[in-house]
């Protein structure tokens, strides 16, 4: 049995094939689904790779989300840099129940399936507008889908949802883009966070003066949260909702374009779109690092004992490729029933906006396929640069033709 004191390995980051998680994760899942792990800052913890144990960690109240207990989550891959989540009221991603419950309860109603379905026509209009603009600005019939579409769609949708006028947002868009760039330094990202936080604080103050009919307006009206808490809630929705959806959209298109038979099946029967979205979520699992918890007491699992105070990292990509849960897990198959996949996490912190994300993907892929029947890569697939080592995996750019 491995000894956590003998400097265990860091989390594997190197992919042998661009759409598959590092092969050594599969090896670990088979041999040792709770394996000792070293973090970039030198501290030791555990890496969980099986579907069953990933669910256990994420749903067991003996594992905490408080940042001081899982402080090295961001340090799995990065050597430095920490988002400014410490000590700001309302940062519910880093809370445990019952503190966490208050925010989730307020947000669940605002982000219900019904409300998100109602938002879909607006998302579709936005997707059409972006494609109109991409076609008009690129008469050569070629563009980078990441900047023209995949980043722009979630940005506009979040503004719509939160009730941020788009012209105000456009002033801050370069900051948001910088925050998402893989070559930005940790300090630059931190500065972007600060600027966005200030911008959102100002938006909240405006809504407190003059109520509006949108998600933030609704939260202001409920009078349950302070201005600082409201700003934190807006900030978390804003930052968590951009990079994830943008990368799912662009990497999802890359995946479809490099699996022509699956793409043809989807074009032939668009009713399969819901299922295809679910399978893309499972197969790509873009949040490849950074999901961690701290043990509040000793916990025995997978034949190991996680000691009180230790950090446990859950590999969602490894869990979603677990053959004990999904038949033939490394095959991308839009006809499978991929329910139960962990792309949105599990337990009390499971993605609060997953219905919105599904609506954005369903609409985003749907409109792209409908409007661009000849859509194809503009470069060989092997030349598309990937976001290797980024917490949210994806393509760096996606040159396409139509």
Considering the complex, state which of residue 192 and residue 284 has its C-beta at the smaller distance from ligand HEM: 284
Interface with ligand HEM includes 200 (CB under 6 A)?
Answer: no
**Residue 240 interacts with ligand HEM (CB under 6 A): yes or no:** yes
- Would you call 33 helix, strand, or coil by DSSP? coil
Nearer to ligand HEM, 26 or 281 (CB): 281
CB of 383 to ligand HEM, least distance (A): 25
According to CB under 6 A, which residues from 156 to 175 bind ligand HEM?
158
Q: Does 189 bind ligand HEM (CB under 6 A)?
A: no
Binding segment toward ligand HEM, per CB under 6 A, in 196-204, 220-228, 236-244, 372-380: 236-244
Contacts of residue 202, defined as CB under 8 A and 6 or more positions apart, other chains included, come to none
Q: How far is the CB of 45 from ligand HEM (least distance, A)?
A: 15
Residue numbers 277-316 binding ligand HEM by CB under 6 A? 286-287, 291
Q: What are phi and psi of 292, to 5 degrees?
A: -145, 165
Q: Among 402, 358, 400, 395, which Cα is nearest to 151's?
A: 395
Q: Which residue has the tokens 């490849």?
A: 288
Whichever of 236 and 262 has its CB closer to ligand HEM, that residue is 236
When asked if residue 351 is in the footprint of ligand HEM (CB under 6 A), the reply is: yes
Smallest CA-to-CA distance from 250 within 393, 122, 140, 136 is with 393
Considering only residues 139 through 158, tell me which ones interact with ligand HEM, judged by CB under 6 A.
158
- The two beta strands, 304-306 and 311-314, are unpaired
E-assigned strand segments in 257-308? 292-295, 299-301, 304-306
Instruction: Tell me the closest approach of the beta carbon of residue 275 to ligand HEM, in angstroms.
Output: 16
Q: How far is the CB of 59 from ligand HEM (least distance, A)?
A: 10
Q: By CB under 6 A, which span of 238-246, 317-325, 379-387, 393-401 interacts with ligand HEM?
A: 238-246
Q: Which is nearer to ligand HEM, 319 or 402 (CB)?
A: 319
Helix (H) or strand (E) holding 377: strand 376-377
Backbone angles phi, psi at 387, to 5 degrees: -85, 60
> Residue 397 has which token pair?
């750019």
The helix (run of H) or strand (run of E) holding residue 55 is: helix 51-59
Nearest by Cα to 109 from 398, 348, 353, 399? 353
Among 11, 123, 248, 256, binds ligand HEM (CB under 6 A): 248
Region of 35-43, 46-54, 243-251, 394-402 interacting with ligand HEM (CB under 6 A): 243-251
Edge-to-edge order in the sheet of strand 142-144? 142-144, 399-401, 376-377
Q: Which residues bind ligand HEM (CB under 6 A)?
A: 58, 92-93, 104, 158, 236-237, 240-241, 244-245, 248, 286-287, 291, 343-345, 349, 351-353, 356-357
């Amino acid at each position: 049995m491995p000894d956590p004191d003998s400097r265990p390995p860091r989390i594997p980051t190197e992919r042998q094939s661009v759409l598959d998680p590092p092969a050594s994760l599969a090896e670990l899942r088979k041999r040792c689904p709770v394996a000792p792990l070293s973090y970039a800052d030198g501290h030791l913890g555990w890496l969980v790779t099986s579907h069953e144990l990933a669910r256990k960690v994420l749903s067991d109240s003996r594992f905490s989300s408080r940042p001081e207990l899982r402080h090295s989550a961001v340090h799995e891959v990065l050597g430095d840099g920490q988002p400014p989540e410490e000590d700001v009221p309302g940062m519910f991603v880093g809370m445990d129940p019952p503190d966490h419950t208050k925010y989730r309860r307020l947000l669940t109603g605002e982000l219900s399936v019904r409300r998100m379905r109602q938002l879909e026509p607006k998302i579709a209009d936005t997707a059409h507008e972006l494609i109109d603009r991409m076609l008009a600005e690129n008469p050569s019939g070629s563009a980078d889908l990441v900047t023209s579409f995949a980043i722009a769609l979630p940005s506009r949708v979040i503004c719509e949802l939160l009730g941020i006028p788009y012209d105000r947002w456009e002033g801050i868009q370069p900051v948001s883009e910088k925050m998402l760039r893989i070559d930005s330094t940790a300090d630059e990202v931190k500065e972007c966070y600060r600027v966005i936080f200030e911008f959102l604080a100002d938006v909240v103050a405006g809504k407190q003066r003059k109520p509006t009919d949108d998600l933030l307006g609704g939260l202001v009206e409920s009078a349950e949260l302070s201005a600082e808490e409201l700003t934190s809630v807006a900030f978390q929705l804003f930052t968590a909702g951009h990079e994830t959806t943008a990368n799912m959209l662009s990497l999802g298109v890359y995946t479809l374009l490099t699996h022509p038979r699956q793409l043809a099946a989807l074009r032939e029967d668009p009713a399969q779109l819901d299922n295809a979205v679910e399978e893309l979520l499972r197969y790509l699992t873009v949040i490849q690092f950074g999901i961690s918890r701290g043990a509040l007491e000793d916990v025995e699992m997978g034949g190991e004992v996680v000691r009180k105070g230790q950090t446990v990292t859950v590999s969602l990509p490894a869990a979603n490729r677990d053959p004990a849960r999904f038949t033939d897990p490394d095959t991308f198959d839009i006809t499978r029933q991929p329910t139960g996949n962990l792309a949105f996490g599990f337990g009390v912190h499971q993605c609060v906006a997953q219905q919105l994300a599904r609506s954005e993907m369903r609409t985003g892929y749907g409109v792209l396929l409908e409007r661009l029947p000849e859509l194809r890569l503009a470069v060989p697939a092997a030349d598309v640069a990937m976001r290797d080592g980024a917490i949210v995996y994806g393509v760096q750019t996606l040159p396409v033709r139509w």
